[in-house]
């Protein structure tokens, strides 16, 4: 199989695995991450093939879609072993996906340029207009309110609390995670893309509070 055929097979595998997901890890998320990863890879002179395969498979191993993190990673490893013969390449891609699957709280930094590119692409999809849409959809699916002025944002680094969706709001997630991502970008081009999306979220929040508080100076 040539690279184009392997990529087509990875697309099919990801579609089949992610098709039914409603937690923000659907196929279109993967497709966007794959496109953004290729764009950043070109700008940063990273290996586009490795970035594309890692991006296509990055959510297949997600712990939310599998009985366990290990089971998810095994599934991805088996697929790679069936489609690639170069052990070094398989290890490189597995290492990216393993590191990304710990993104919820305090994972290790990405050690390869390709890993940095794919992680940037995944983070970018949590920002901007798409990012705002995903927070709202995710929050609705988890039964979290959009906003409550009485509930302050929490420290996101507390992994246990982070996955306890009952205690927070969609708007708090901006402060707990999304507004921090710009400064965590790995590559210069990824950061440049993040800045525009970050600014858009800030103006969204400004407008949100303006509308929320409009007319709240009670006259009676």
Distance between CA atoms of residues 158 and 162, nearest Å: 6
**Residue 165 or 208 having the CB closest to ligand ADP:** 165
Q: Does residue 173 bind ligand ADP (CB under 6 A)?
A: yes
CA gap 141, 143 in Å, rounded: 6
Q: Which is nearer to ligand ADP, 6 or 147 (CB)?
A: 147
Count CB neighbours of 63 within 10 A.
Answer: 16
CA 168 to chain centroid, in Å, comes to 19
Q: Is 198 in the site for ligand ADP (CB under 6 A)?
A: no
Per-residue x/- track, 53-92, Ni ion (CB under 5 A): ------x---------------------------------
Q: In this structure, are residues 211 and 190 in contact, taking their beta carbons and an 8 Å threshold? A: no
Report yes or no: 29 and 121 within 8 Å, Cβ to Cβ.
Answer: no
Q: Which of the stretches 35-43, 46-54, 83-91, 167-175 binds ligand ADP when contact is defined by CB under 6 A?
A: 167-175
Of Ni ion, ligand ADP, none, which one does residue 77 interact with (CB within 5 to 8 Å by kind)? none
By CB under 6 A, is residue 165 in contact with ligand ADP?
Answer: yes
C-beta of residue 214 within 8 angstroms of C-beta of residue 167: no
Return the number of the residue (47 or 161) whose C-beta is nearest ligand ADP.
161
Note whether 34 and 56 are within 8 A (CB): yes
Here's the x/- map for Ni ion, 118-157, by CB under 5 A: it reads as: ----x-----------------------------------
Task: Name which of residues 36 to 65 contact ligand ADP (CB under 6 A).
Answer: 62
Q: How far is the CB of 218 from ligand ADP (least distance, A)?
A: 31
Closest CA to 18 of 52, 65, 55, 50: 65
From CA 152, how far away is CA 130, in angstroms rounded? Answer: 24
Work out how close the CB of 109 gets to ligand ADP at its nearest, in angstroms, rounded to a whole number.
15
Write the CB contacts of 39 (distance below 8 Å, at least 6 apart in sequence): 189
Q: Binding residues for ligand ADP, per CB under 6 A?
A: 24, 62, 103-104, 122, 126, 131, 134-135, 138-139, 144, 165, 168, 170, 173, 178
């Amino acid at each position: 199989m040539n690279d184009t055929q392997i990529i087509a097979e990875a697309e099919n595998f990801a579609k089949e695995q992610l098709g039914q997901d409603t937690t923000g890890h659907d196929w279109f998320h993967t497709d966007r991450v794959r496109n953004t990863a290729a764009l950043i890879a070109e700008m940063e002179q990273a290996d586009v093939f490795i970035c594309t395969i890692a991006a296509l498979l990055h959510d297949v191993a997600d712990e939310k879609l599998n009985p366990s993190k290990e089971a998810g990673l095994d599934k991805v490893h088996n697929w790679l072993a069936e489609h690639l013969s170069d052990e070094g390449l398989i290890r490189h891609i597995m290492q990216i996906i393993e590191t990304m699957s710990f993104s919820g709280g305090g994972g290790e930094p990405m050690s390869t340029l390709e890993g940095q590119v794919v992680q940037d692409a995944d983070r970018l999809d949590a920002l901007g207009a798409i990012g705002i849409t995903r927070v709202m959809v995710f929050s609705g699916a988890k039964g979290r309110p959009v906003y409550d002025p009485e509930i302050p944002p929490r420290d996101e680094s507390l992994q246990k609390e982070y996955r306890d969706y009952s205690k927070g709001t969609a708007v708090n997630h901006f402060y707990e995670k999304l507004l921090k991502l710009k400064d965590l970008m790995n590559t210069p081009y990824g950061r440049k893309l993040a800045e525009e999306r970050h600014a858009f979220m800030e103006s969204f929040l400004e407008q949100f509070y303006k509308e929320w508080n409009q007319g709240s100076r009670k006259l009676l």
